[in-house]
Structure 1
Amino acid sequence: MSNDDCIFCKISSGRDEKTQLVYEDEQFVSFKDHKPGSDTHYLVVPKEHLDSCKVLTGEHVDLIKRMKEIGKELVKDVDQNQVRFGFHWPPIILIKHLHLHVIAPVTGMSFMSRLIFRENSWWFVSPEYMIERLTKLK
């Protein structure tokens, strides 16, 4: 299910010709963030429209795990200690469509990027946090 007004739904369905996909399968797409937080910054997006982390249930644990697997594959040649994975936590989201940020290297992030993408803060949570939280909802 997609939302006609959502830019990530347009990208994942191929209706946005400006965005080049770096990954696609039946459930997910990935592309470069248009405002990168470091040298490498991808977004992993489910094709199904889900507003944010807050709408997820225990049934979505595998979805989060798969998103991180895709993200890790995208940066497999990067020192994994230099990769930040995370989701913005509402209400601090600009685009209401679930997306995982994959950012590297962490040491290349600006002060503002380190603030915006601060791991396990009130506004940016790791996939591990989400998996733990969702597992408790099962």
Structure 2
Amino acid sequence: MDEDCIFCIISKGEDKETEILKQDEELMCFRDINPAAPHHYLIIPKVHIVSCLCLQWYHHSLVERMAEMGKAVLLEQGVSDMTDIKLGFHIPPYTSVNHLHLHVVAPTEHISHYLRYKFTPGERFVEVDYFQKILRNSQPHSELHSCCPL
């Protein structure tokens, strides 16, 4: 845990203003404080991982569980069209909090015109399916980035 990280504070239950929509032993979901669309949620691991660049090949199941929780929350919140969603990570330095968080956004057609660039795949944003392929194809003991001692 990082004592100064707002997401670590939330994951410990110390932020009373954040409404937790879903959680288990490993993950937690809450609304994005600056929503880009009617449904904009964040899925975080309870352990402190700096960013998606810290993930290694063996984290593919963590990312899968994060995506599954995101889809489950969308369904619970009344979103039925799973083809009109965005699931992905912002890539540093385009992250506002240095704690791994998956953006779950729906419907994509309602993403604010002024925020669409933040969720367009490229140097700022990587969709979860594409990122999963990268993780699965990386070699054991290879590193995407050496920012975390995992």
TM class by smaller structure? over 0.9
- Three-state SS of the structure 2 residue aligned to 1:75 is helix
- Whole-Å separation in 2 of the counterparts to 1:26 and 1:83: 25
Look up the match of 1:136. 137
- Whole-Å separation in 2 of the counterparts to 1:124 and 1:112: 15
Aligned residues: 136
Look up the match of 1:92. 94
- Whole-Å separation in 2 of the counterparts to 1:13 and 1:117: 28
In our comparison, the structure showing a higher alpha carbon Rg is 2
C-alpha RMSD over aligned residues: 0.9
| Aligned-residue offset at 1:85 | 0.7
Look up the match of 1:81. 83
Structure 1 residue 17 corresponds to structure 2 residue 24: no
- Three-state SS of the structure 1 residue aligned to 2:98 is coil
Look up the match of 1:102. 104
| Aligned-residue offset at 1:6 | 0.2
| Percent of pairs with identical residues | 39
Unaligned residue ranges in structure 1 (runs of 5+): none
Q: TM-score, normalised by structure 2?
A: 0.87
- 1:1-138 equivalences under 5 Å are 2-76=1-75, 77-78=78-79, 79-118=81-120, 120-137=121-138, 138=140
Read off the aligned partner of 2:116 and give its amino acid letter. Answer: R
Unaligned residue ranges in structure 2 (runs of 5+): 141-150
Q: TM-score, normalised by structure 1?
A: 0.95
